[in-house]
Amino acid sequence: MIELAPSILSADFARLGEQVRAACEGGASVIHVDIMDGHFVPNLTIGPPVVKSLRQVTKLPLDCHLMIENPDEFIPAFADAGADWISVHQEACRHLNRTLHLIKSHDCLAGVVINPATPVSTLEEVLGIVDYVLVMSVNPGFGGQKFIPTTLHKMRRLVEIRSQRALSYRIEVDGGVALDTVSDVVRAGGEILVAGNAVFGHGDPSKNADALLKAAIEAALQKV
Ligand code: DX5
Ligand code: ZN
């Protein structure tokens, strides 16, 4: 099943509620929230209070992508603020198994994220634990970057492993997903599509979300 997860990173933060509602009208079914600490990635964004405010304006699952050095210290606060899904970077976690179980202990779905330079093989021991794997198709830190096509083979590999090992994780893709890249992503196995700039960067977020989701569903139908 294909789902669109608009990233609020490219939204107008002064009108966040309105922008989230517009994306929802366009067919978004998850809201992607990018958390950056200025250490793991060279940028700063938001923390639990904004997640708490978002919780008041939407019933959609809040997908918190933690691009931070010490996720264990903040997972409880994001869960309390209303996060439904929490993902952590493989590269940031010294005790990844423990961190994923910590997320689950807060009744959130647990995701693991890999940067463009990190191979799928590093996830071998956690694929049976996670609810989703997030493949970064740009280097994390900023919206509006160019899609890196050499990440596509990782989505294909995750599909392959899932069927070989009879696992059930879902495959999320983040970075540079737009009308010109979405069909490649869906054909490679991307199921939860994060899009910031393509939804909020210009024009009407509702129309942008609708067009992107339609293109994704069309690519998925062609795949069958
Ligand atoms: C990048 C973030 C992304 C970003 C995607 O570090 O994790 O979620 O907002 O933005 P676009 O879709 O503009 O590449
Ligand atoms: Zn993200």
Substitution site in 36, 151, 197 for ligand 1 pocket (most atoms within 8 Å of beta carbon): 197
pLDDT for residue 79: 99
Can you read off the two tokens belonging to residue 56?
Answer: 């008041």
pLDDT for residue 205: 98
Task: Give 21's pLDDT tier (boundaries 50, 70, 90).
Answer: very high
| Contact call for residues 27 and 209 (beta carbons, < 8 A) | yes
**Rounded to the nearest whole angstrom, what is the distance from the C-alpha of residue 51 to the centroid of ligand 2?**
14
The 10s digit of each residue's pLDDT in 155-189 is 999 999 999 999 999 999 999 999 999 999 999 99
The 10s digit of each residue's pLDDT in 77-87 is 999 999 999 99
pLDDT for residue 223: 84
pLDDT for residue 176: 98
Helix or strand or coil: residue 70?
coil
The 10s digit of each residue's pLDDT in 48-57 is 999 999 999 9
| Cα–Cα nearest to 37, from 191, 169, 163, 141 | 141
Burial class of 196 by CB neighbour count within 10 A (0 to 12, 13 to 18, 19+): buried
| Contact call for residues 3 and 32 (beta carbons, < 8 A) | no
Is 224's pLDDT higher than 80?
Answer: no
- In DSSP terms, 54 is beta-bridged to none
Minimum-distance ligand 1 atom for the alpha carbon of 176? 14
**Rounded to the nearest whole angstrom, what is the distance from the C-alpha of residue 179 to the centroid of ligand 1?**
15
**Rounded to the nearest whole angstrom, what is the distance from the C-alpha of residue 148 to the centroid of ligand 1?**
12
